[in-house]
């Protein structure tokens, strides 16, 4: 009887350990046993097999194909058995800093029942970042550049940890306090001076049997609640096919040389009242008494021009003044 050597089992597996087996060669070498290192065998398995539950890969995992697509596919809940259903979802977790679960990509990472889905259902897609350096600095950043190598990308759009968004490139010239929920920062030393900072485009079919208006536009609404009573206020900038509109649900006020503080703006320069009449003044008037009410002087700077009035029979007269201060009316 042949002697059978006894081996002691290793408590750990090292990459240089040997495994005896065949490598599938044909011809004279077919069936001969060969020694494989654990690391070489692991590399072979990862290129030809499917990783199943509980598999841990130490180090980097590269999916590589020559002259073919390289695809990483995550499949969960293949049976889709009820009950249970969508509570099993494909996810990628990013864990660092001593095991903290910082970020993730996948379906239903968060049970957003209060946000309109039923617990465990909905297949809502999430990109989540839970890093908490501080409220304003954490978040998600998208970077682009027309140069190879993602390490060359520049931050172009970010969602901060406090939910505020910034579109642009916050470079050394950016000194904004970022008090808005969404901000567009346009540095003209980097961007074209002919570009607009923010554009909304719309398409209108003018061959339609009616005249469509309001293609695109910008609208902001505010709902204010006071003791259970809710009122809604809004302003909109709407381009039309023949005219463009500024629409407000409240009197429209103007501020020049303002401190840009929406809580206590300075530089009041006039308003359009609730009756549609204009008030040019440093004092607000909800209902100006005339179509145009002016506090202070009204000056016509050209001597050939003046104030035009209409007589009861419809004749229009221009009132001018000569060098002696005499008024003259000229029929138009």
Mean pLDDT of 75-93: 76
> Which one of 124, 150, 185 terminates a domain?
185
Is 45 in a helix, a strand, or coil? helix
Whether residue 267 has pLDDT greater than 90: yes
Q: What would the two tokens of residue 29 be?
A: 């070498």
Q: Give domain status of residue 215, yes or no.
A: no
Same domain as 104, residue 160: yes
Domain count, the chain: 4
Same domain as 284, residue 314: no
Same domain as 271, residue 238: yes
Q: Give domain status of residue 195, yes or no.
A: no
Instruction: Calculate what percentage of the chain has a pLDDT beyond 90.
Output: 33
Of 253, 174, 146, the closest CA to residue 158 belongs to 174
For the segment 121-166, what is each residue's pLDDT rounded down to a tens digit?
567 788 988 876 565 567 898 998 867 888 888 888 988 888 889 8
Residues 167, 184: Cα–Cα separation, whole Å: 5
User: How would you classify residue 44: left for phi > 0, otherwise alpha for psi between -120 and 50, otherwise beta?
Assistant: alpha
Same domain as 279, residue 243: yes
pLDDT of residue 278: 97
**2-11, 106-115, 153-162, 224-233: lowest mean pLDDT where?**
2-11
Backbone angles phi, psi at 21, to 5 degrees: -175, -175
| C-alpha pair distances (Å), 199 with each of 243, 269, 270 | 18, 27, 28
Same domain as 327, residue 276: no
Same domain as 18, residue 63: yes
pLDDT of residue 266: 94
Q: Give domain status of residue 209, yes or no.
A: no
Whether residue 117 has pLDDT greater than 60: no
pLDDT confidence tier of residue 281, bands split at 50, 70 and 90:
very high
Same domain as 94, residue 178: yes
Burial (CB count <10 Å: 0-12, 13-18, 19+), residue 37: middle
Q: Give domain status of residue 65, yes or no.
A: yes
Q: Judge contact between 216 and 196, C-beta under 8 A.
A: no
Whether residue 330 has pLDDT greater than 90: yes
CA 158-160-164 angle, to 5 degrees, is 95
Whether residue 49 has pLDDT greater than 90: no
Same domain as 174, residue 249: no
Backbone angles phi, psi at 44, to 5 degrees: -65, -45
pLDDT confidence tier of residue 274, bands split at 50, 70 and 90:
very high
pLDDT of residue 134: 60
**44-48, 158-162, 246-250, 258-262: lowest mean pLDDT where?**
44-48
Residues 242, 224: Cα–Cα separation, whole Å: 34
Residues 48, 57: Cα–Cα separation, whole Å: 15
pLDDT confidence tier of residue 288, bands split at 50, 70 and 90:
very high
Residues with Cβ within 8 Å of residue 73, at least 6 apart in sequence: none
Same domain as 318, residue 276: no
pLDDT confidence tier of residue 92, bands split at 50, 70 and 90:
very high
Q: Give domain status of residue 208, yes or no.
A: no
Q: Give domain status of residue 322, yes or no.
A: yes
DSSP state for residue 43 in the 8-state scheme: H
Structural domain including 57 reads: 9-73
pLDDT of residue 225: 94
CB-CB neighbours of 146 under 10 Å = 5
Whether residue 292 has pLDDT greater than 70: yes
**192-196, 298-302, 303-307: lowest mean pLDDT where?**
192-196
For the segment 199-245, what is each residue's pLDDT rounded down to a tens digit?
888 887 777 666 666 678 899 999 999 998 999 999 999 887 778 88
| C-alpha pair distances (Å), 151 with each of 144, 154, 282, 319 | 10, 9, 54, 71
pLDDT of residue 100: 79
> Which one of 150, 169, 185 terminates a domain?
185
Residues 314, 331: Cα–Cα separation, whole Å: 11
pLDDT of residue 153: 87
Q: Judge contact between 331 and 320, C-beta under 8 A.
A: no
Mean pLDDT of 44-63: 70
Same domain as 326, residue 257: no
CB-CB neighbours of 40 under 10 Å = 14
Whether residue 44 has pLDDT greater than 80: no
């Amino acid at each position: 009887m042949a002697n059978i050597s006894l081996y002691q089992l290793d408590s750990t597996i090292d990459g240089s350990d040997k495994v005896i087996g065949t490598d599938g060669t044909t011809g004279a070498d077919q069936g001969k046993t060969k020694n494989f290192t654990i690391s070489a065998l692991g590399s072979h398995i990862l290129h030809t097999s499917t990783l199943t539950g509980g598999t841990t890969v130490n180090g980097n995992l590269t999916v590589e194909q020559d002259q073919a697509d390289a695809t990483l596919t995550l499949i969960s809940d293949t049976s889709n058995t009820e009950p249970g259903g969508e509570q099993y979802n494909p996810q990628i977790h990013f864990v660092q800093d001593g095991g903290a679960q910082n970020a993730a990509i996948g379906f239903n990472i968060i049970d957003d029942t209060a946000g309109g889905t039923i617990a465990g259902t909905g297949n809502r897609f999430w990109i989540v970042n839970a890093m908490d350096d501080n409220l304003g600095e954490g978040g998600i950043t998208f970077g682009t550049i027309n140069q190879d190598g993602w390490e060359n990308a520049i931050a172009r759009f970010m969602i901060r940890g406090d939910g505020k968004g910034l579109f642009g490139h916050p470079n050394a010239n950016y000194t904004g306090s970022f008090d808005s929920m969404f901000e567009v920062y346009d540095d003209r030393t980097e961007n074209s001076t002919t570009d607009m900072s923010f554009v909304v485009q719309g398409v209108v079919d003018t061959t339609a049997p009616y005249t469509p208006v309001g293609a695109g536009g910008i609208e902001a609404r505010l709902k204010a609640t006071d003791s259970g009573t809710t009122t809604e206020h809004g302003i909109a900038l709407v381009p039309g096919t023949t005219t463009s509109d500024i629409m407000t649900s409240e009197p429209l006020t103007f501020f020049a040389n303002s401190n840009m503080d929406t809580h206590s703006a300075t530089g009041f320069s006039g308003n359009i009242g609730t009756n549609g009449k204009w008030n040019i003044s440093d004092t607000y008037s909800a209902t100006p008494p005339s179509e145009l009410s002016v506090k202070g002087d009204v000056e016509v700077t050209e001597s050939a021009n003046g104030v035009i009035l209409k007589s009861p029979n419809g004749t229009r007269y221009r009132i001018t003044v000569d060098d002696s201060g005499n008024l003259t009316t000229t029929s138009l």
